[in-house]
Structure 1
Amino acid sequence: MLKNYFKIAWRNLLRNKLRTAIHILGLSIGIAICFVIFNVVTHSYSFDRFHEDGDRIYRINTLTDWGDGGSFPNSGVPGPLGEVIGDEVPGVEQTGRLYTMYNAMVALPGGQKAFGRSDKLTFANPGFFGIFPRKWLAGNPQSALKEPESVVISERSMHKYFPGSDASDVLGQELLYIDSDTIAAKVTGVITDYEENTDFIFQDFVSFSTIRTEEQISWYGLHEWNSVNSSSQLFVKLAPEVSAASVDEALKSVVAKHMKPEEGEEEYATTFFTEPLAEIHFGQTYADTGTSKVFLKGLVYIGLIILVLASLNFVNLETAQAIGRAKEVGIRKTIGGTRLQLVSQFLSETFLILVFSTVLALVLAVGVRLAFRDYLPEGFLIDYSSPSNLLFYLAFPSLITAVTGIYPAMVLSKYDPQRALKGELHRAGKFSLGVFLRKNLTVVQLSSSIAFVILVLVLNHQLKFVTSQPLGFDKEAVMYTRLPFMSDPDKMLQLQQRISQESSVMGASLSGSLVSSMGLWTSDAHVPVDTTEKQIYVQVMNVDSSFVSVNGIPILAGNASIDKADEIVVNENFLKEAGFTDKEKAVGSQVRFSQEQKTIIGVIGNFHSRTMREEIKPLLLTYNPEYFQTISVKLNAGQNLAAAKESLEQLYRGIYPYEEAGFSFLDEEIERFYQEDEKIKNVLGFACGLAILISCMGVFGLSSYTIAQRTKEIGIRKVLGASLQQILLLTTKEYMVLVGISFLLAAYPSYYLVAEWLKDFQTRIAMPYLTFVGAGLGILAICMLIVGLHSYIAAQTNPAKVLKDE
């Protein structure tokens, strides 16, 4: 019986090639998108799920609440917490501490070889490997990280540093780690690398006890309870039956005991809380390997919308074509076919369509993954033979068959055989559920398409608007590179002088950060007001005397050649907050900053030092050359940029021969501010295109069938004198009404989503209502083109040919 079902189903699919093609193409698009998204989600949720007792492992995070100043979550903790948590918080079985070293140089002693800078280095205490055990190729897990200046390296690092050596041979070998200081560490262990998906990217583990002098502890910020640094990480493994909630409660007691604000300190509230190991991938990670849960949910919603549209397409077209199979149903019932057999027959056709759609979807998925590889997680690959994907192949077609096929099957199988054989499917004047449903399903499809078009157009309009706004500085022909951390000030000045002597260079500036970046240093300044002081929250930038001129920032008063530690330069918003009404009079005023008196020597114009999502903050420029980390270079007009870049990099390598940093363009860095928004726009644009394509296929199939049912009516009207325009109006007015209803249903959700997104921008466009109208008219034009084409073909048919059987 089952074989017979599929044989008949196969014949029906071949007999109705257009219907079959529309179904397979529409469903395969929806399945392909769902398949890729399914793999992205399973990939994201696979990180660090392999650790033993992972459900008992937590990272301790910090939340600092400054009241009106905002609250700031941080994956780091104060250093002293790691020392006391095991004694003061009940239920903590093991404690693992990390202090990550970013951009540290690795080398062999004696200048034998330098391996460049790496972000895969960390300080770790012995407890870390107690919580996260590894397979040891050499060394003792219990003692490897006990002594200062010890290091445990991974197998991958061993092959990099000591090629051709065995694990036992490298024990006792020395490695240099050059950060704020030079650490000469002996290799005391070699471990295997993780093969599974993990956010723990570290390959070199220096013993935490290496940080032992007061100077080192202070430098790394591990000495104070109010010093929170994201590099200082704390992991705990809880005893069985101990809940995270009880640990969170106990941490409140630790705060109350050790973090009481002293008299005169600003009021703020600090909270420590546990973060499950499984959630770390969706929070702050060590190398931007994490994934946003909001982004994942957005992908899931988009995938479901596309799949629902494709499924509605199927239901709509199948129910519309039910009349064509009414006589088949009547004959089957007449010769003894039961309704269950008929339902099984129609579901087998649906299942066969889904099987072909799934096969085509796997091919389309390859193209989708390649087209959007820049938007997918790093290292993401689709394993077509994985258990989860094998389950997808089996379960998905069956599930969609049940969801999409059951209603058309029930509609077709319920026809009364006597009336079906006469062609009477419903009584005249009676309500038809099928017609009502088809219209509503078409409205849902068109509403989704209109909403997608509105979102994409508004996102595109806003991004073009913010990228065309004046920034308050000159971003053209400015290149930059990072300097080694805590570089020798003499070397930095030597590099600046050599670059400034180049004929292609207008000027060079040293600073702590770029003129505009995602980085942010905030502090507070105190301005004298009568007999008291006014506190101002300010953004701080560490710059040299050339910074303002190199970046083309306008000087409004005084001068901006800051070269002394007791001098500052401020912007207009600083003066506004401080209460200065005259820029010239503000020059020479005293401001208390960083517990020292500073003199304002100049006032500069406001400029966007961060994205246009934020308003321009009161800004203070200070001078501290020890912490310069960036060099910016302004090129003369008309230069060959590629040649200039190569020349600058040669000069850089001449001063820093072991560094690998290259020069980049400032305008490219600024474009990256809106990279995530561009990704969202492009993903929505892709989804918009698919939604329109699926909706168009639905309208095409539905209109081709419904107009075919009205060819005799059209022929009679032509005989009675109806014009082509009247016939076109007759056949298209129903779709005009459907598009109008769809627009009304799509308008408010689109308005809400657009308004919420625009709220994030301080600089934004007004609500573009004309864009809403344009989106609706665009979808209307597409529908009218499709329906009008079918109507025109039907109207051009000779009435005598259509009515010859009447």
Structure 2
Amino acid sequence: MFINYLKIAWRNLIKDKLNTGLNVIGLSVAFAVAILLGMAAMYQLSFEGFHKNGDAIYKIVKTLQTPKGPQAGTVHPAPFSPTLANEVPGVKRITRYLQDGTLAIQADKEIDMDVVWVDEDFFSMFDFPISSGDQNTPLNDLSSVVLTKKAANNLFGSTDIIGKTFNLLISGQEKPFRVSAIAENVVSQSNLGFEIVARFEGHRDYLDLKDHWDSQYHDVYVELEDGVTAEGFEKSSRSYVDFHYNKNIEMLIRDGASADSDGRYINLNLVPLTDVHFASLKSGTVVVSRSLPYLILGVAFLILFIACVNYINMSIAKSAKRLKEIGMRKTLGAQKKQLFFQFWGESLFVFMVSIGIGVLLSFAFLKDFKTVFNTNVNADMLLKPSFLLGLMGIVILITIFVGGYPALLMSRLGTIQSLKGKLESTGSNSVRDVLMVFQFGIAILMITGTLVLWGQIDYMGNKDLGYDKEQVVSFPLNGKINSNTIVELLRDELKGNPDIISISGADNNLGLGRDGSRSSSKIGFEYEGRAVTTNFLVVDHEFVKTLGINMVAGRNFESAADSLGVVINEAMAKELGAEDPLTAQLEINDGVYYPVLGVVKDYNFNDLDRAIEPITFYISREWGITYGYVKVAPNNMANAFTALENAWKKLEPNAEFLGSFLDENVDRTFKREKTTAKMITSGSVLAIILSCMGLFAMSLLIVSQRTKEIGIRKVVGASVVSITYILTKDFLKLVFVAFIIASPIAWLVIREWLQNYTYRINLSVWFFIGAGSIAVLIALLTIGSRTISAARANPVKSLRTE
């Protein structure tokens, strides 16, 4: 009996090659895309999931209730970690974490390495496997360091280097460190990346700041003891906070801050390690959002849904051609369950073939998928038990419900009804119409999202940021020469080059450079009896000129020796509240006052999802700069870039030149938005293609069912246009209904998403009209050729068709 089912299924599928081919192609592509997107989502959701004690590890965030509302921060002072471990019960292990690029020197090699400065418990808390060397206490000595295999090969050309020494450039001096262990390369699903791990006490700022509570510059991770909850620890830390931050609390109260619901002004909050990758500081609080991986999964399910709707609709429509077969088989004694398994077996066969092809396609396009969507997924993820179980569960559900519904529908038809060729009483048309509305509604929703996403990206890319991003090159000062000195040497080297307009530097980059590093510095001080907080940027005296930032009051720095004053932006002037900001004196260092020399126009030094904040420029050779900025002539930018690179290589022959234009840096900050836009765009295109495949197959079946009607209408004088209209109007009605349903949903979702950006486009009605028009146009093109062909057919031939 089973073999008989297979034979009949195979014959029926081969008999209708076009319908079978469309189903297999649609389902195969949908399965392939769903597998790839599922892998990308699982990759995102697996961040920091490999640590054995990860459930007990947290990142500490400090939240202040300021006069302007809550303000959360992840950085802490140097004495915070050891005092917290000693004074608050429940700490099993704790480590400070400071990521800081440092020049590593070995023989004639000088390489800018990603160094993290941590405490001794770091490798006991986190599972970064040690492949050789000291497995238990690799950081027990202040001069001991751990290198990854990649770093060891880059620096020494080998991993057999336990006990060997090399130098790190710290505060302009080379200090020796001994390799105590070699770690495996850090997996990409970690935010705690490193090439070299060194003790926190060896960092250049440690000796000066080890007892200072007002300098906050590093993260802290804590592992709680068994049985201690995050909520319990947060409550236990309140007395610690009240004692060590007493002066800060008094200042907040004095300045008019309102306490939170528990009557507190400063709290410590714990963010689970697995949430850190998805956490951001918005509106003064920590917001954990997994919207991107869930969006990826959502697109995958929508693509599968559209393909399944296609299959159901085509199966229902095709059933009209098999009514007499069903009636005859029932007349000969076939039971409902036999008919059900017959039709369900045909569906099962199609699904199995499609799944197989889908898996092969996902492997074939994996490399291209990784490139387009900037993800590090790999084929090994397909073999993970969790992924395989999830995939099998989805396949089983689709097979049962998507394949089972048409089979159940056809097996329940009555014998007389089937022999008469009637299908109306089953309500199949209503089901088909509802599914098609869902199908095109999803497509319209995704098209609208695509249009808005690219509109927002284009707006951010072309927005005037308040500085010259097209003509300025930035690059890390990652060589041996003192950073201020190298800027002066570059000026001398490039003097007289007509393509070089000006050269400067600062201790932070704008946007995201080729080295991938970003940092920010904030300081707080007293001004006229109240606390003031500002972003703090150490600059060279030509910084404002090089960046093309406009002065609105006062003057700029005049020379490198002009270090007794500061320059502020308009937001900082408002923060000070002085009637004339040029009369203000800022006590940045204890007992030392700095006059405000000038005020620059506000410019976007942060990402565009954040409002412009106060910033203060300051000249200091002691604090130093870390990035160079060079403004080049607009008519010969390529030659200017080459001249700059050659000058750098002449002065720093062993340090890699990592220059890039600021507009490139800004574009890199849109990486997440661009990846999302590519994903939604690809999903929209695929949704439309799959929907059109189903629509095309449906039009073929419906035209074939109405062949005699078309012939009669032509005989009695109907025109080609009127017949085409009759055949297409029902489909276009469904697209219009889909548009009416999808547009409000799209508006609500997209409006909520745009709230994440301080600077955003207006949600114009034209985005929705454009999406609906695209859907209608594509539907017309899909069914138009077939309906016009049917309308132009010879009526005599149509009437002869039986």
**TM-score interval (norm. to shorter):** 0.7 to 0.9
- Distance apart, 1:137 and its partner CA: 3.4
Aligned position for 1:381: 378
**Residues 141/113 of structure 1: CA separation in 2 closer, same or farther (3 Å cut):** farther
- Paired residues of 1:251 and 1:273 also in contact (CA < 8 A): no
Aligned position for 2:102: 104
**Residues 262/515 of structure 1: CA separation in 2 closer, same or farther (3 Å cut):** closer
Aligned position for 1:483: 477
2:691 matches 1:695? yes
Structure 1: distance between partners of 2:730 and 2:196 = 69
- Distance apart, 1:362 and its partner CA: 2.4
SS in 1 for 2:413: coil
Aligned position for 1:414: 412
**Residues 741/96 of structure 1: CA separation in 2 closer, same or farther (3 Å cut):** same
Alignment match of 1:334 (pick from 298, 313, 331): 331
TM alignment of 1:585-604, pairs within 5 A = 587=582, 590=585, 593=588, 596-604=592-600
Alignment match of 1:238 (pick from 213, 218, 225): 225
Aligned position for 1:185: 177
- Paired residues of 1:515 and 1:551 also in contact (CA < 8 A): no
SS in 2 for 1:405: helix
- Paired residues of 1:327 and 1:423 also in contact (CA < 8 A): yes
Select between 670-679 and 296-305 the one with higher mean Cα deviation.
670-679
Aligned position for 1:19: 19
Aligned position for 2:144: 150
Aligned position for 2:605: 609
- Paired residues of 2:113 and 2:196 also in contact (CA < 8 A): no
Structure 1: distance between partners of 2:432 and 2:316 = 7
**Residues 164/630 of structure 1: CA separation in 2 closer, same or farther (3 Å cut):** closer
Percent sequence identity over aligned pairs = 25
- Distance apart, 1:81 and its partner CA: 4.0
Alignment match of 2:211 (pick from 223, 226, 234): 223
Q: TM-score, normalised by structure 2?
A: 0.87
**Residues 36/254 of structure 1: CA separation in 2 closer, same or farther (3 Å cut):** same
Structure 1: distance between partners of 2:727 and 2:295 = 38
Alignment match of 1:499 (pick from 488, 494, 499): 494
- Distance apart, 1:16 and its partner CA: 0.9
Q: Which amino acid aligns with 1:721?
A: G
**Residues 419/186 of structure 1: CA separation in 2 closer, same or farther (3 Å cut):** closer
SS in 1 for 2:797: helix
- Distance apart, 1:705 and its partner CA: 1.1
Aligned position for 1:304: 301
Structure 2: distance between partners of 1:319 and 1:748 = 30
Structure 2: distance between partners of 1:328 and 1:498 = 89
Aligned position for 1:206: 198
- Distance apart, 1:154 and its partner CA: 4.9
Aligned position for 2:260: none
SS in 1 for 2:544: helix
- Distance apart, 1:572 and its partner CA: 4.4
Q: Which amino acid aligns with 1:642?
A: A
2:667 matches 1:671? yes
Structure 1: distance between partners of 2:629 and 2:122 = 43
Aligned position for 1:252: 238
- Paired residues of 2:115 and 2:195 also in contact (CA < 8 A): yes
Aligned position for 1:448: 442
**Residues 424/397 of structure 1: CA separation in 2 closer, same or farther (3 Å cut):** same
Structure 1: distance between partners of 2:486 and 2:381 = 53
**Residues 10/252 of structure 1: CA separation in 2 closer, same or farther (3 Å cut):** farther
- Distance apart, 1:411 and its partner CA: 0.5
- Distance apart, 1:805 and its partner CA: 6.3
Select between 267-276 and 705-714 the one with higher mean Cα deviation.
267-276
- Distance apart, 1:759 and its partner CA: 2.7
Q: Which amino acid aligns with 2:714?
A: K
Aligned position for 1:65: 64
- Paired residues of 1:99 and 1:233 also in contact (CA < 8 A): yes
1:41-88, Cα deviation, whole Å (9 max, x unpaired): 333444554444544x31341132343545555555444343244444
**Residues 502/588 of structure 1: CA separation in 2 closer, same or farther (3 Å cut):** farther
2:124 matches 1:129? yes
- Distance apart, 1:136 and its partner CA: 6.2
- Paired residues of 1:60 and 1:76 also in contact (CA < 8 A): no
Aligned position for 1:473: 467
**Residues 247/472 of structure 1: CA separation in 2 closer, same or farther (3 Å cut):** closer
Structure 2: distance between partners of 1:99 and 1:779 = 51
SS in 2 for 1:599: strand
Aligned position for 1:794: 790
SS in 1 for 2:723: helix
Aligned position for 1:634: 631
Q: Which amino acid aligns with 1:601?
A: L
- Paired residues of 2:89 and 2:236 also in contact (CA < 8 A): yes
Q: Which amino acid aligns with 1:487?
A: N
TM alignment of 1:362-761, pairs within 5 A = 362-366=359-363, 368-374=365-371, 376=373, 378-383=375-380, 386-388=383-385, 391=389, 394-426=392-424, 432-484=426-478, 487=482, 489-514=484-509, 520-523=520-523, 538-563=534-559, 564-575=562-573, 587=582, 590=585, 593=588, 596-625=592-621, 626-639=623-636, 641-761=637-757
- Paired residues of 1:60 and 1:233 also in contact (CA < 8 A): yes
Aligned position for 2:515: none
Structure 2: distance between partners of 1:54 and 1:567 = 47
**Residues 452/341 of structure 1: CA separation in 2 closer, same or farther (3 Å cut):** same
Aligned residues: 774
Q: Which amino acid aligns with 1:454?
A: T
Select between 27-36 and 256-265 the one with higher mean Cα deviation.
256-265
- Distance apart, 1:323 and its partner CA: 1.4
- Paired residues of 1:147 and 1:209 also in contact (CA < 8 A): no
Structure 2: distance between partners of 1:204 and 1:372 = 31
Aligned position for 2:262: none
2:81 matches 1:82? yes
SS in 1 for 2:370: coil
1:106-164, Cα deviation, whole Å (9 max, x unpaired): 224xxx2335121144343157437648556344735x533332334455555555556
Structure 2: distance between partners of 1:548 and 1:435 = 69
Structure 1: distance between partners of 2:613 and 2:296 = 34
Q: Which amino acid aligns with 2:685?
A: G
Q: TM-score, normalised by structure 1?
A: 0.87
Q: Which amino acid aligns with 2:330?
A: K
1:146-183, Cα deviation, whole Å (9 max, x unpaired): 3332334455555555556746xx33x32222233543
Structure 2: distance between partners of 1:133 and 1:514 = 30
2:104 matches 1:117? no
**Residues 53/484 of structure 1: CA separation in 2 closer, same or farther (3 Å cut):** closer
Select between 256-265 and 473-482 the one with higher mean Cα deviation.
256-265
Structure 2: distance between partners of 1:553 and 1:127 = 43
1:196-238, Cα deviation, whole Å (9 max, x unpaired): 9655544544345657xxx95344x4434454433x4333252
Q: Which amino acid aligns with 1:455?
A: G
Aligned position for 1:265: 251
- Distance apart, 1:308 and its partner CA: 0.8
- Distance apart, 1:413 and its partner CA: 0.4
1:425-479, Cα deviation, whole Å (9 max, x unpaired): 346xxxx521111111111111111112222122223333343333333333221
Aligned position for 2:351: 354
2:764 matches 1:773? no
Q: Which amino acid aligns with 1:372?
A: F
Structure 2: distance between partners of 1:175 and 1:47 = 32
Aligned position for 2:261: none
Aligned position for 1:288: none
Structure 1: distance between partners of 2:755 and 2:116 = 40
Structure 2: distance between partners of 1:763 and 1:279 = 27
1:733-776, Cα deviation, whole Å (9 max, x unpaired): 22232122111101101111222233334443333112312221
Structure 1: gaps (5+ residues): 286-290
